[in-house]
Amino acid sequence: MHRITRRDFTKTALAAGGLLATGSAAAVAEPAGVIRRRIPSSGEAIPIMGLGTNRYGVGDSPDARAPLRDALARFHELGGTVIDTAPSYRTSESVLGDLIRDLDIRQDLFIATKVDRDSGRDDSLAQTRNSVRKLQVDTIDLMQVHSLNDWKNNIPLLRELKQDGRFRYIGLTTSRSSQYAEMEKAMLKHDLDFIQIDYSLAQREAAERLLPLAAERGMAVMLNRTFGGGRIFQAVGDRPLPAWTAELQITSWAQFLLKYALSHPAATVAIPGMTKTRHVDDNFGAARGPMPDAGQRERMEDFFDAL
């Protein structure tokens, strides 16, 4: 039996209110004010604030898991759905699987993980099966090829498994500009639902070719490393925010960085790494209210470059 999930419910409610007009690329607002954007290949709308979990591989210790459980619960409470993980993030998939089961929130989530094997079809297939088992799900929402690993073989395999209903969407990730030329080749050759790429005020190279290409090819864009792994906070230090950021309802540097990244016209969702509840609260402030326009984005760049 098909269970009515919050996702279905929201979709129905928004459609009834005329907010999910077919073919419109416009952002739609959640009741809680969290902005949602559409996945071009399906029209499904997802909240623009996701969760990166490369620091969730803490193993079995209840003490180590407790703050992650709180952060995940808060993420869900604030309307977050998109969670990105990977088999290479140590025990992250298993920890998430257990926490999601304990919180009983699977039905509300959009779970993304990855394949990174380069030893042939059987090995990649086994890895995807392990992810399904560890995450304790029937279907994975988005399966991505991690950092282009054996993409020429792995993308066709993921497409086949998507056709079998094992995954709802497929994609390809990178977080290094040295891979962009190869990424471009893959994006031109294959119809992907998503790409995932590093993009931040400190690393804007993706905006030169790959973000426009994703928009042109109808691919959703998941942004990683929006804080440069956390290092950008050292660059801003304890400087106060410029007064003009108030018009964008920005109250922290994290929101400044996220609103910059998320206001790129090709952006669909950002996945900042968050292991603390207070960071989840802070970052959701960037998923509401006005987004910078082209002029404000330039001002943000000038300000950052002058630091």
Ligand X SMILES: NC(=O)c1ccc[n+]([C@@H]2O[C@H](COP(=O)([O-])OP(=O)(O)OC[C@H]3O[C@@H](n4cnc5c(N)ncnc54)[C@H](OP(=O)(O)O)[C@@H]3O)[C@@H](O)[C@H]2O)c1
Pair 6, 107: CB distance under 8 Å: yes
Q: Within 100-159, which residues bind ligand X (CB under 6 A)?
A: 146-147
Least separation, in Å, of the C-beta of 251 and ligand X? Answer: 11
Binding string to ligand X for residues 1 to 20, with x set by CB under 6 A, is what? Answer: --------------------
Calpha distance 267→27 (Å, rounded) = 11
**Strand bridging mode 82-84 / 51-52:** parallel
Least separation, in Å, of the C-beta of 20 and ligand X? Answer: 27
User: Residue 74 or residue 146: which is nearer to ligand X going by CB?
Assistant: 146
Where does this chain touch ligand X (CB under 6 A) — which range of 12-20, 126-134, 239-247, 267-275? 267-275
Q: Which amino acid is at 234?
A: Q
Sign of CA dihedral 168, 169, 170, 174: negative
User: Residue 134 or residue 279: which is nearer to ligand X going by CB?
Assistant: 279
User: Residue 19 or residue 207: which is nearer to ligand X going by CB?
Assistant: 207
Which residue from 36, 76, 225, 288 is in contact with ligand X, where contact means CB under 6 A?
225
Q: Both tokens of residue 299?
A: 């001002």
The answer to whether residue 210 forms part of the interface with ligand X (CB under 6 A) is no
Calpha distance 76→106 (Å, rounded) = 10
Binding string to ligand X for residues 231 to 260, with x set by CB under 6 A, is what? Answer: --x--------------------x------
Nearest alpha-carbon partner for 50 in 268, 261, 213, 295? 268
Residue by residue, DSSP assigns 11-34 as HHHHHHTTTT-TT----EE-TTS-
Q: Where are the alpha helices (DSSP H) in 164-276?
A: 180-189, 210-216, 232-236, 253-262
Which residue from 151, 167, 227, 303 is in contact with ligand X, where contact means CB under 6 A?
227
Secondary element (H or E) of residue 168: strand 167-173
Least separation, in Å, of the C-beta of 57 and ligand X? Answer: 10
Pair 254, 279: CB distance under 8 Å: yes
User: Residue 10 or residue 263: which is nearer to ligand X going by CB?
Assistant: 263
Number of residues that bind ligand X (CB under 6 A): 29
Where does this chain touch ligand X (CB under 6 A) — which range of 12-20, 149-157, 167-175, 202-210? 167-175
Binding string to ligand X for residues 280 to 299, with x set by CB under 6 A, is what? Answer: --xx----------------
Least separation, in Å, of the C-beta of 50 and ligand X? Answer: 9
The answer to whether residue 93 forms part of the interface with ligand X (CB under 6 A) is no
Which residue from 47, 97, 272, 292 is in contact with ligand X, where contact means CB under 6 A?
272
Calpha distance 165→10 (Å, rounded) = 23
Q: At which residue do the structure tokens 């392990």 appear?
A: 130
| Residue 157: alpha-carbon gap to chain centroid | 22
Secondary element (H or E) of residue 280: helix 277-284
The answer to whether residue 81 forms part of the interface with ligand X (CB under 6 A) is no
Residues forming the site for ligand X (CB under 6 A): 52-55, 84, 146-147, 173-175, 196, 224-230, 233, 254, 271-276, 279, 282-283
